[in-house]
Amino acid sequence: MSRHRNIRNLDFDDEIGSDEDADYYGRSYDEDMALSPNSARFIYRRDGENPYFRHESESIPEESFHETHNYHEDTFQFEDERIKVDEPKTEVKVPVTNVTSVSSSIAKFTLGGSGSSTPEKSAKVLPEPVNPVIQQLRVSETPRTRNGSKSPTRGPEGIKLNLSTQSLSALLTSTPYKKRQRPEGGKENLNLVIVGHVDAGKSTLMGHLLLQLGFVEQRVINKYKHEASKLGKGSFAFAWVLDETEEERERGVTMDIARTYFETTNKKVVLLDAPGHKDFIPNMITGASQADAALLVVNATRGEFETGFDQGGQTREHVMLLRSFGVTRVAVAINKMDTVRWSEGRFNEIVAKMKQFLMKQAGFPNVHFVPLSGLDGINLTKRPGTAAPLTTWYNGPTLVEVIDGLPSAEHSVEAPLRVVISDVVKSSDTAIQVCAKVEGGHIEAGDRVIILPGIVPATVKQACCENSESTNEVCFAGDQCLITLSGQFEADSITSGHVISRGGEDCLKPGTHFLVRIVTFNITIPFLKGTRAELFAHSMCCTSTISKLVATLNKSNGEVIKQKPRCINRHTSGLIEIKTEVPIALEAYKSCKTLGRITLRDKGETVAAGIIEQVLK
């Protein structure tokens, strides 16, 4: 046992006092170090006296746990009885003195009163609360409004929007207007969109055409040539007539719809120059939705035509989009024929490929093909001389003659008013100026209208057709017009894609749930329930979801092939239900063709097109 310590003779007091490890569990670092004055004033000491809680008498003794618990139970029970609404058992009259005593008791309890009173004693003084009896509830017949209230107002059945009383009244009230008829005689209106693959020469062709027709002065072209030469882009001078923004001129591509105007022998033409780059297809859709006819420009240069026409080029997609938006008349301008030395063989080769696609696949009737050179201005407004190589094998019409022969679309003046806003020119709190196209009916100054889908009432201050000298005239269906509206407008509440309508029975009712008959294109993934895609219609774009696959249809006769299919494959016609996250201004195709056509796009590709059969909700 010698190796063990002698426990019997061990002095434990000395051991504890000399053991340095004894304080590891009994003390902390903060206890060994003195607190700074700044830290000490935040330390609560139970044995000290806080100057904020001094009382005239001695310190308040702590209560036992059960007393404090009972006190809080009594307090919350009292408050619950005050706010609880029960069915009255008996009718009791509440004296005013009781309310006064309760208020005074609560005041004394809250403020503390004398130092000798305790919360328990203050609670015992309070009288028992009594529930007042409500004998009759009456609603005031006079409507009362609260300033700054953002509560939504219940709208009419089928429209769940935040409507004010003024907007709701305007929506349901039929406004009087004068019935007008388009004056007979004069030139027909033609909305012509220019489409084609990027770098096909669309803007240059149209700029040179406007110069030869006299709608652009030569000094303007000379100025553009001088400025373009400084940037090393001398050949872009004619394109700058339509490409007016600095970014478009620097990049050398059209990015937005350029709108201009010219006249032929029988037509007043509104020219819509659409971008050809695939990144700006949404802008091209805006132009296609406003068009009555189209001019497709293709590049005759070897390799360039094949790039734009084959898979991946924009020529095919532009043609399918035109067909989807109801454009039935198209002419083809085979541009840059000078690069192939006006070869008849190259012209016939392009015509053969384009006819096969346009007439048999897309379904366009009577397509005209015009060989020309937009940069040199050959075969635009007049036929070339006998010495020109083109005259040896071509004796057909010029470009202007082909445009002049395109038929105008039919628009109903008797239809309900439908005006699609394509651009907002100026905007303020009380007035807004927009570019728009009248799709149905007629509009003039003084008309009271509604802007949808936001249900914004407004009054037409001015209305005039584009490039018209008059500021107050009647704009009929098919006209591109400039409209000034007065009213109360919030910032960015009116944008492109909104629709102007009249109130009452003819009012367009926005919806979020539509039954659509579609035709799918060359899609890689079949349509399933829950498939999301971008929905394009007239000048509007929004996110949509396929909520239901109703049936697959026969393309030729529309007969139902299969009910409730699991999917819809490529190049298939089907009936589906589509939902949008926000209300949009669309209606059935039978009511308005422009507002009843849609296109679905996903990941930069057009996947389907269709028409609205019914607005479900």
Q: How far apart are CA 592 and CA 438, in angstroms?
A: 12
Domains assigned to the chain? 26-87+102-128 (no CATH), 188-404 (3.40.50.300), 410-501 (2.40.30.10), 511-615 (2.40.30.10)
Smallest CA-to-CA distance from 177 within 476, 480, 477, 444 is with: 444
239-298 pLDDT, tens digit per residue, is: 888 877 777 777 777 777 888 888 888 888 888 888 877 778 888 888 888 888 999 999
What is the side-by-side order of every strand in the sheet holding 368-371?
Answer: 258-263, 267-273, 188-195, 293-299, 329-335, 368-371
Cis peptide before 453 (omega within 30 of 0): yes
Dihedral of CA 59/62/68/71: which sign?
negative
| 460 or 21, higher pLDDT | 460
Q: Which residues make Cβ contacts (< 8 Å) with residue 131, sequence separation at least 6?
A: 81, 84, 85, 86, 88, 92
pTM of the model: 0.68
Query: Which two tokens mark 143?
Result: 């409507």
Q: What is the pLDDT of residue 14?
A: 59
In the predicted structure, residue 505 carries a pLDDT above the cut 90: no
Average pLDDT of span 34-60: 59
Smallest CA-to-CA distance from 599 within 617, 586, 583 is with: 586
142-171 pLDDT, tens digit per residue, is: 343 333 333 333 333 333 444 555 555 555
Q: What is the pLDDT of residue 47?
A: 58
In the predicted structure, residue 613 carries a pLDDT above the cut 80: yes
Q: How far apart are CA 509 and CA 505, in angstroms?
A: 10
Report the chain's mean pLDDT, rounded to a whole number.
75
Contact 249, 232 (CB under 8 A): no
Q: Identify the burial level of 358 via C-beta atoms within 10 angstroms of its C-beta, where 0-12 means exposed, 13-18 middle and 19 or more buried.
A: buried
Q: What is the pLDDT of residue 87?
A: 44
Average pLDDT of span 74-101: 42
Q: Which residues make Cβ contacts (< 8 Å) with residue 583, sequence separation at least 6?
A: 159, 160, 161, 453, 510, 511, 512
Q: How far apart are CA 522 and CA 608, in angstroms?
A: 9
